[in-house]
C-alpha cells in the first residue's frame, strides 16, 4: 500500500473522511501526538488499527469526539463533574473514562465495559470528525513500543506501507499524550491514570484528585491494572535510557564527563555548564521538555546512540507527564547522585 502524506485542506479532509467511512485507517494530527484513526463504532476498522500498530488486543483505544452529542451517543452515564471538566478542558488534552454503550464494540474498548473519550484541540481533526459523523478511535500513531509521533514524519517512519493517508498538521503543540482520568467516589472525584498537559493542579480546582500508583511505579507481573496501557513497554528507542536524578549541576557534569565514550550522550535541559560529553538538550521548562521529548528519543536512534543519560525533569505540573514517559522509556532505570 502506498502512504500519502498531505497537508490539511477541505479536499484532503474529505478524502480522509471517505477513507475512514470505507473502514480504512488514517494518520491524524492532534495537539498532543498524532493518532491512528478509524471509525470507533466499526469493529473491523478498529481491528486494522491494532494490526497497523502491532498493538496488544487488550489495550483499549481512546475515542475522539467533536460534540457532546457524540459523548451521549457512546456512553451510559455522565457524572455532572464530567460536564464541568468538559466545559473547562475540552477541546483539549483530557481523556475521561465512562461506562460504554453497546454501540462501542469490544475491539475498541479492548474488551472492557468502559470507554475512554476526548475532544482533541485541533481544528482540522474536529472538522474531520464532523464530516465522518461518528467518533474516531485513535491510539498514538507509532508502532507499539516506540516513542509516540509528534510530527507527520514520525508517523510516516512507523506507518509507511501500512495506512493509505497521513494528514500533516505540523508539529504537535503539547508533545505528550492526553491526561487519562477515571471517576471515583460516585463520580465526584477523579483518579489520574496517565499524567498529561492537564495537570493534577489544574484538575484540583474542580474536585478531589488522586494519582494512580502505577503512574510512577512499575506494575507487578500479573497485577490487575485499571489502565491496560501501563503494563506494556513504552516509548523505547534502541538506545539504553538511564535517568539521572540530581539537584547538583556540578555533580551531574562530573558524572557525565566520567562516561565520555563514543555513542554515549547526555540529554540535558540545555543551560548546564561544564559538560564535555556529547549532549542533546530537551528544554528548560516542563512544557518545552514535553514538546521535545519524543522527537528527542527518536533522534537518539538516528544518531546511533548506545546509552543516553537523561537529566530527570521536575516532578510537578507538566513535568509529571515528562517523568512518567521517561520512566517507561528507561524501563525504570534511574540513578540518584
Ligand atoms: O493524546 C492522546 O491521548 C493520544 C491522541 C492520539 O489522542 N492518544 C493516545 O492513545 O495516547 P493510546 O492508545 O496510545 O493511549 C491510550 C491510553 C492507554 O494507556 C490505555 O490503556 C488507556 O488510555 N485507556 C484507554 N481506554 C481505557 C479504558 N477504558 N480504561 C482504562 N484505560 C484506558
Ligand atoms: Mg500510545
Is there a single domain that holds both residue 163 and residue 259? no
Residue 226 lies in a domain: no
pTM attached to this predicted model: 0.96
* Residue pLDDT, tens place only, 186-203: 999 999 999 999 999 999
Is there a single domain that holds both residue 166 and residue 250? no
Q: Is the CB of 138 under 6 A from ligand 1?
A: yes
Best residue among 139, 147, 169 to mutate for probing ligand 1, ranked by most atoms within 8 Å of CB: 139
Q: Per the structure, how many domains does the chain have?
A: 2
Residue 144 lies in a domain: yes
Q: Rounded mean pLDDT of 167-193?
A: 98
Is there a single domain that holds both residue 270 and residue 144? no
pLDDT at 227 over 90: no
Going from the Cα of 58 to the center of ligand 2, the distance in angstroms, rounded, reads: 13
CATH number, position 57: 3.90.870.10
pLDDT of residue 234: 75
pLDDT at 327 over 80: yes
Residue 261 lies in a domain: yes
Q: Which ligand is nearest to the CA of 144?
A: 2
Residue 148 lies in a domain: yes
Is there a single domain that holds both residue 150 and residue 265? no
- Full residue range of the structural domain in which residue 147 is found: 4-177
Q: Which residue among 153, 177, 201 closes a domain?
A: 177
pLDDT at 229 over 80: no
Atom of ligand 1 nearest to the CA of 120: 7
Is there a single domain that holds both residue 162 and residue 14? yes
As a whole number of angstroms, the distance between CA 133 and CA 275 comes to 54
Residue 211 lies in a domain: no
As a whole number of angstroms, the distance between CA 314 and CA 320 comes to 7
Going from the Cα of 60 to the center of ligand 2, the distance in angstroms, rounded, reads: 10
Q: Is 131 exposed, middle or buried (0-12, 13-18, 19+ CB in 10 A)?
A: middle
Q: Is the CB of 109 under 6 A from ligand 1?
A: yes
* Residue pLDDT, tens place only, 230-241: 666 677 888 999
Q: Residue 218 — very low, low, confident or very high, per pLDDT cuts 50/70/90?
A: confident
Going from the Cα of 314 to the center of ligand 1, the distance in angstroms, rounded, reads: 24
Residue 161 lies in a domain: yes
Q: Rounded mean pLDDT of 6-16?
A: 98
pLDDT at 140 over 80: yes
Phi, psi of 255 (to 5 degrees): -60, -50
Is there a single domain that holds both residue 8 and residue 132? yes
pLDDT of residue 236: 82
Q: Which residues contact 183 (CB under 8 A, 6 or more apart)?
A: 79, 81, 82, 96, 97, 98, 189, 190, 191
Average confidence score pLDDT of the chain: 95
Is there a single domain that holds both residue 32 and residue 172? yes
140 and 149 in contact (C-beta within 8 Å)?
yes
Give, using CA atoms, the residue closest to atom 15 of ligand 1: 139
Is there a single domain that holds both residue 287 and residue 142? no
How open is the CA angle 162-146-168, to the nearest 5 degrees?
55
Going from the Cα of 297 to the center of ligand 1, the distance in angstroms, rounded, reads: 20
Task: Name beta bridge partners: 39.
Answer: 136
How open is the CA angle 121-136-173, to the nearest 5 degrees?
25
Atom of ligand 1 nearest to the CA of 226: 31
Residue 145 lies in a domain: yes
pLDDT of residue 57: 84
Q: Which residue among 147, 177, 207 closes a domain?
A: 177
Best residue among 49, 128, 140 to mutate for probing ligand 1, ranked by most atoms within 8 Å of CB: 140
Is there a single domain that holds both residue 20 and residue 136? yes
As a whole number of angstroms, the distance between CA 142 and CA 158 comes to 6
Is there a single domain that holds both residue 117 and residue 258? no
Is there a single domain that holds both residue 13 and residue 103? yes
Alpha helix (H) ranges present in the chain?
10-21, 43-53, 68-74, 80-89, 106-109, 123-132, 152-159, 200-203, 249-257, 286-302, 319-329
76 and 28 in contact (C-beta within 8 Å)?
no
Residue 208 lies in a domain: no
Give, using CA atoms, the residue closest to atom 6 of ligand 1: 35
Is there a single domain that holds both residue 253 and residue 152? no
As a whole number of angstroms, the distance between CA 37 and CA 176 comes to 18
CATH number, position 255: 3.40.50.11030
Q: Which residue among 123, 151, 177 closes a domain?
A: 177
Alpha helix (H) ranges present in 9-116?
10-21, 43-53, 68-74, 80-89, 106-109
Amino acid at each position: 500500500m502506498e502512504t500519502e502524506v498531505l497537508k490539511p485542506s477541505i479536499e484532503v479532509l474529505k478524502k480522509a473522511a471517505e477513507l475512514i467511512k470505507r473502514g480504512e485507517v488514517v494518520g491524524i494530527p492532534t495537539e498532543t501526538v498524532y493518532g491512528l484513526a478509524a471509525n470507533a463504532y466499526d469493529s473491523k476498522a478498529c481491528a486494522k488499527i491494532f494490526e497497523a500498530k502491532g498493538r496488544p488486543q487488550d489495550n483499549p483505544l481512546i475515542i475522539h469526539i467533536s460534540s457532546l452529542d457524540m459523548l451521549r451517543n457512546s456512553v451510559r452515564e455522565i457524572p455532572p463533574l464530567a460536564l464541568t471538566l468538559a466545559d473547562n478542558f475540552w477541546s483539549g488534552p483530557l481523556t475521561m473514562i465512562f461506562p460504554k454503550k453497546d454501540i462501542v464494540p469490544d475491539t475498541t474498548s479492548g474488551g472492557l465495559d468502559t470507554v475512554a473519550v476526548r475532544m482533541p484541540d485541533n481544528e482540522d481533526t474536529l472538522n474531520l470528525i464532523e464530516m465522518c459523523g461518528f467518533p474516531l478511535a485513535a491510539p498514538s500513531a507509532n508502532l507499539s513500543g516506540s516513542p509516540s509521533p509528534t510530527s507527520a514524519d514520525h508517523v510516516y517512519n512507523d506507518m509507511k506501507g501500512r495506512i493509505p493517508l497521513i494528514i500533516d498538521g505540523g508539529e504537535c503543540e503539547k508533545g505528550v499524550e492526553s491526561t487519562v482520568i477515571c471517576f471515583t467516589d460516585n463520580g465526584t472525584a477523579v483518579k489520574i491514570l496517565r499524567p498529561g498537559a492537564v495537570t493534577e493542579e489544574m484538575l484540583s480546582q474542580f474536585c478531589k484528585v488522586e494519582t494512580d500508583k502505577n503512574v510512577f511505579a512499575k506494575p507487578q507481573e500479573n497485577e490487575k491494572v485499571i489502565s491496560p496501557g501501563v503494563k506494556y513497554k513504552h516509548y523505547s528507542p534502541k538506545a539504553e535510557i538511564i535517568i539521572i536524578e540530581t539537584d547538583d549541576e556540578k555533580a551531574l557534569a562530573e558524572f557525565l564527563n566520567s562516561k565520555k565514550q563514543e555513542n554515549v550522550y547526555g540529554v540535558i535541559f540545555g543551560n548546564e555548564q561544564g559538560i564535555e560529553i556529547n549532549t542533546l538538550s530537551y528544554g528548560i521548562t516542563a512544557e518545552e521538555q514535553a514538546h521535545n521529548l519524543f522527537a528527542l528519543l527518536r533522534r537518539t536512534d538516528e544518531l546511533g546512540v548506545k546509552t543516553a543519560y537523561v537529566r530527570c525533569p521536575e516532578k510537578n505540573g507538566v513535568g509529571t507527564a515528562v517523568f512518567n514517559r521517561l520512566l517507561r522509556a528507561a524501563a525504570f532505570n534511574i540513578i540518584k547522585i
